[in-house]
């Protein structure tokens, strides 16, 4: 399957070399509607001259606009900042790093994924508790209530439970529900696929509130039973530090290596990301 060439041109136009670029958001979660934007996430490498002064700029780059007819939401972190986030209980960066929707990659991206598996701890459950609560509050306060934040609630909770039980990141609600078998998920996804602002009947609120509470309890139980470590090890920190040093040196001497580096593999399956 071939990527839409506009995505490659958008990546090539980024101001700094990229360690990787992946797709997150609704396309990753398995329920993009026709008007969904493209959430492009990546890690960039600032040159040494940008890092050695009194102030460091562009540690995070954000750009939300229509580019070549694609509605884009682009967020990229410098490698040092991204590595620090990996060492915290941050589910966002794990999902970006392990996203199977890979637009650009490098051998160091593959190495980073190997190291990052040892950054996953049982306390990542707190990220999923917090994100689910935020999305539930958003859903509950809306009038009319949209299907989108409700799907995010279920996606987040199932991802968190699965992570606690297996140590594996999976943010795709369709794949997750093949295991959890919640009978109402397929209907919610079908509604979301018809548009970003599809709404839900008020009569369904009580049912979904019960399901929300049940899954929160399930996540808590999975957290308590998890065999994941409490913290990343000193060896994991050292491996990240070593990789960062090598990336800085390579970027200083061979910055062209990271530019337009061809993908090692691609596994985007949603046709809206491809041609034909």
The reply to whether 214 and 247 lie within a common domain is no
The reply to whether 130 and 112 lie within a common domain is no
Residue 266 has pLDDT above 70, yes or no: no
Q: What is the CATH number of the domain that holds 85?
A: 3.30.460.10
Q: Give pLDDT tens digits for 156-183.
A: 999 999 999 999 999 999 999 999 999 9
Q: How many Cα atoms within 13 Å fall on the side-chain side of residue 163?
A: 34
Q: How confident is the model at residue 34, as a pLDDT?
A: 83
Phi and psi at residue 20, in whole multiples of 5°? -160, 165
Query: In whole angstroms, what is the distance from residue 260 CA to residue 128 CA?
Result: 34
Strands 18-24 and 102-104 turn out to be antiparallel
The reply to whether 48 and 67 lie within a common domain is yes
Q: Mean per-residue pLDDT for 128-150?
A: 95
Query: In whole angstroms, what is the distance from residue 252 CA to residue 45 CA?
Result: 10
Residue 214 has pLDDT above 90, yes or no: yes
Query: In whole angstroms, what is the distance from residue 212 CA to residue 182 CA?
Result: 12
Task: Tell me which DSSP letter residue 274 carries.
Answer: B
The reply to whether 166 and 200 lie within a common domain is yes
Residue 65 has pLDDT above 90, yes or no: yes
Q: How confident is the model at residue 35, as a pLDDT?
A: 82
The reply to whether 109 and 243 lie within a common domain is yes
Domain that holds residue 38: 5-120+231-273
Q: How confident is the model at residue 257, as a pLDDT?
A: 59
The reply to whether 113 and 245 lie within a common domain is yes
Residue 86 tokens read as 């990996």
Q: How many domains does the chain have?
A: 2
The reply to whether 80 and 202 lie within a common domain is no
């Amino acid at each position: 399957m071939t990527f839409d060439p506009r995505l490659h041109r958008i990546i090539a136009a980024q101001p700094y070399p990229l360690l990787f670029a992946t797709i997150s958001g609704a396309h990753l979660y398995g329920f993009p509607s026709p008007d969904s934007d493209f959430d492009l996430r990546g890690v960039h490498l600032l040159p040494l001259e940008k890092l050695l002064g009194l102030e460091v700029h562009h540690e995070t780059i954000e750009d939300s606009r229509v580019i070549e007819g694609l509605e884009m939401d682009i967020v990229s972190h410098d490698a040092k900042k991204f590595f620090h986030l990996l060492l915290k209980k941050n589910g966002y960066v794990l999902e970006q790093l392990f996203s199977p929707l890979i637009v650009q990659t490098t051998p160091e991206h593959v190495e980073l994924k190997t190291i990052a598996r040892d950054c996953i701890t049982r306390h990542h459950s707190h990220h999923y508790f917090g994100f689910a609560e935020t999305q539930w509050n958003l859903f509950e306060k809306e009038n009319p209530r949209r299907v989108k934040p409700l799907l995010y609630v279920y996606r987040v909770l199932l991802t968190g439970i699965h992570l606690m039980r297996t140590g594996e990141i999976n943010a795709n609600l369709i794949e997750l529900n093949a295991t959890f078998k919640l009978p109402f998920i397929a209907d919610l996804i079908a509604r979301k696929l018809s548009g970003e602002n599809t709404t839900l009947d008020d009569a369904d609120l009580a049912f979904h509130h019960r399901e929300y509470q049940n899954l929160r309890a399930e996540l808590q139980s999975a957290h308590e039973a998890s065999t994941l470590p409490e913290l990343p090890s000193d060896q994991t920190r050292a491996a990240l530090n070593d990789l960062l040093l090598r990336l800085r040196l390579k970027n200083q001497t061979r910055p062209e290596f990271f530019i337009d580096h061809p993908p090692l593999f691609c596994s985007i399956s949603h046709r809206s990301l491809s041609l034909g």
